[in-house]
Structure formats: C-alpha cells, structure tokens
Amino acid sequence: MANELLSPGITYTLVQNRLYALPSTVTFITSSAAVEVSLDGITWGALANATTGAVTGANFIRSTLVNTIVALKKATIATVSAGGLGLLDDLAFRERLYSELSGITRRGTLANISDSTKDNPGQTVQGGGTDNVLARYDGTKWIVVS
C-alpha cells in the first residue's frame, strides 16, 4: 500500500504506526502528541517539540499512539534554539538590507544581504553598497561566507 502524502494546510488524524509521506519541502508540524519522523522510512527519531510546533525536512512521519492529530504548514520562518542556524527566513534567504539586521544577536545566524560594500569571503560586511552576499553573524559583526 502506498504511503498517504500529507499536505500543508490540512489537519490529519494519524492511524497508529502507519507511515505517512511528508512534502518534499521543509515543513512546520504541530501535533496533539509525540510523533516520529524519518528520512528513509526505516530509522526513526522523535520530532522534538512537535506539540508546540517543530520544523522538519524528513520524508516520513508516524505516530505510535492512537488518534494523534497533526497539522502541517509550509515553513517560512524557523528559529532553532541550539547552535548552528539561528534564523532561516523564507527558506530561500530573502534579500535584506544590512540596516534590517541590527536587532539580530544570535551567533551563527545567516542572512542574504543585498547592499554590502564587501563581497570577498572573510570580509566584514558594511551596508550601503551594491553587492549581494551571504553572511554569517559571529556575535559581533556580519562576515561574508563563501
């Protein structure tokens, strides 16, 4: 039997231990109980914070409980609390002016800056230019990444 593909914008009641396919895009999931996700449909892991909402890039989802309700929506803004990625906006790194980033304080945040005066990897970004760069916040300044 083929796996049912779940779609964003719809609420589902999962059948216990049945495999469901997730969209091929990163998805924001909320659920009434704990759920598990998998990339390959064989190895499973708990989706942390699913009851309050969590982002996943997994291919499959299942519930080991009866009548777990899940809702999916396309992830547009995701904040990750532990290390690495701090802010991922629109999942395509929407262009931002350097001046728009002044309130970001999370080290490791990535941004697509559209008005940089610097464009070589390792250089400190300054606004007011014409270069579009991918930059990482190191805790004190924005640095052009390669």
Residue 122 to residue 25: CA distance in whole angstroms: 31
Q: Closest Cα to residue 80, out of 43, 33, 48, 117? A: 48
The two structure tokens encoding residue 102: 């002044």
The 8-class DSSP code of residue 85 comes to -
Task: Give the tens place of pLDDT for each residue, 11-52.
Answer: 999 999 999 998 877 778 888 888 998 888 888 888 876 777
* Whether pLDDT at 128 is above 90: yes
Q: What is the largest CA-CA distance in the chain?
A: 57
pLDDT digits (tens, 9 = 90+) for 86-117: 444 433 456 788 888 877 777 777 788 889 99
Taking only the tens place, the pLDDT of each residue in 64-90 is 899 999 988 876 544 444 433 344 443
